[in-house]
Amino acid sequence: MRAVTNLFRAREMPVFLALVVVVAIAGIANPAFLSAAGAIDILLGVAIVAILAVGQTFVIVMRHIDLSVGSLIGFTSFLIGDMYAQGYGLWGGLAAALAVGLAVGAANGFLVAYLKLPSLVVTLGALYIVRGVFNDYAFGRTITAAMVPPEVAWIGLNRLGGIPYLFLIGLSLVIISGLVMRRVKAARDLYAIGSNPAAAELAGIPVARRVFGAFVLNGAITGMAGAVMLGRFNAANANSGLALELIVIAACVVGGVTIAGGSGSVWGAFLGAILLQAITRTIGALGIPQFWQQAFNGGLIILAIAFDKYLNSRVKTTTIMGSHND
């Protein structure tokens, strides 16, 4: 009984319902949307954002943010192709992508956790630095289909039981991370840190180590996601991943990962990613001009924040704990 009430009370529920509504509208307006091909299109499109949203969730629940992921995933997707083309093979490329991801994550994490610099600024800097290094490295070159490791290309093209492998990779990451965030002590600490940073110190939580760890983890996930991106597009250039971080953060926020920290789940972020993607497709299916899509998604982000605010204000705030803005 409690499980059922919890399911309906969950913050993810309205996101899921919104998704159902969007799909229903699109399906009525254009039955082709509900076809297998239409669904696969959405699943394929959602994989990258879903994976990055998982990593970002680890960071946002701590009341931090990582803006460097778009530059980073673009760089590592280029790197995997380039390393393969130069004869280092698939594993050489993946190892390089992981190393770059870990390094950027560790640099972000060090500055935020130990030097106590604001993550918004640190990762904004990292966004430009990584993109700059990437542009210099790419130097006008592009990764073409011939330079993509065949295994990566295969995964990008094929399906298991009709479901794209890329989506399955994203889904398994969501399932594992969902379990981790709910059942692993260190991950629970991230929620505590985001909910009340000062109290986290007093409760004996190793705050700096946890913040560092979460940034490193996000860096590693993003670095490896370069392979997923390369498989999806079968190509890469110096503009790969440009502005992707904003879509990722939008997915998290729409999915109920509170930007003020302390609450939200990878499942929410995952649903948020699917919802944004479904809206994009729906707008196409309804024949509405594409530029409305961005405005619509923007409105959705604001709606999500307003909704969270409303949820919090419904709780009787007779104490000074009610405020998040201190």
Partner 1 sequence: MVLASSQGGPPVLEMVHVAKSFGGVRALVDANLTLYSGEAHALLGENGAGKSTLLKALAGVHKADAGEITLKGKPFEQGSTKDSIEQGIAVIYQEPSLFPDLTLAENVFIGRQLTNSGLVDWAAMEKASRELFNRLGVTLDPHQKARGISIADQQIVEIAKALSTDASVIVMDEPTAALSSKEVERLFTVVRNLREQGSAVVFVSHRLDEVFALCDRMTVMRDGSTVGSALISETSENEVVQLMVGREVSDLYPKLPPKIGEVVLEVHKLSLEGQFSDISFEVRAGEIFALAGLVGSGRSEVIRAIFGIDRYDSGSVTLNGKSLPTGKPAASMSAGIALVPEDRRQQGLFMASSIARNVAVTLLKKLSTWLLVRKRREESAAEQWATTLQLKFASLDDPVERLSGGNQQKVVLSKWLATEPQVLIVDEPTRGIDVGTKAEVHRLLSQKAQQGMAVVMVSSELPEVLGMADRIFVMREGTHMGTLNRDEADPEKIITLATGGVIAR
The least CB distance from residue 180 to partner 1, in Å, is 9
Q: Give the one residue of 37, 115, 160, 320 binding partner 1; rule: CB under 8 A.
A: 320
Question: For the CA atoms of 276, 280, 281, 284, what is the dihedral angle to 10 degrees?
Answer: 160
In angstroms, rounded to a whole number, what is the distance separating the alpha carbons of residues 300 and 256?
11
Which C-beta is closer to partner 1: that of 24 or that of 184? 184
Rounded Cα distance between 190 and 182, Å, is 11
Going by C-beta distance under 8 Å and a sequence separation of 6 or more, which residues neighbour residue 309? none
> In the block, which residue shows the tokens 């109290």?
199
Tell whether residue 277 is a contact of partner 1 (CB under 8 A).
no
Helix (H, G, I), strand (E, B) or coil at 256: coil
**254, two tokens:** 């729409």
CB 48 within 8 A of CB 164: no
- Show contacts with partner 1 in window 179-218 (CB under 8 A): 182-185, 188-189, 191-192, 194-196, 198-206
CB of 318 to partner 1, least distance (A): 6
Q: Is 323 in the site for partner 1 (CB under 8 A)?
A: yes
Please report whether residue 316 would count as binding partner 1 according to CB under 8 A: yes
Question: What 3-state class would DSSP assign to 164?
Answer: strand
- Nearer to partner 1 by Cβ, of 4 and 320: the residue is 320
How many residues contact partner 1, by CB under 8 A?
37
Nearer to partner 1, 82 or 308 (CB): 308
Contact between 117 and partner 1 per CB under 8 A: no
Strand partners, 160: 163
Q: Give contact residues for partner 1 (rule: CB under 8 A).
A: 2, 182-185, 188-189, 191-192, 194-196, 198-206, 258, 261-263, 312, 315-324, 326
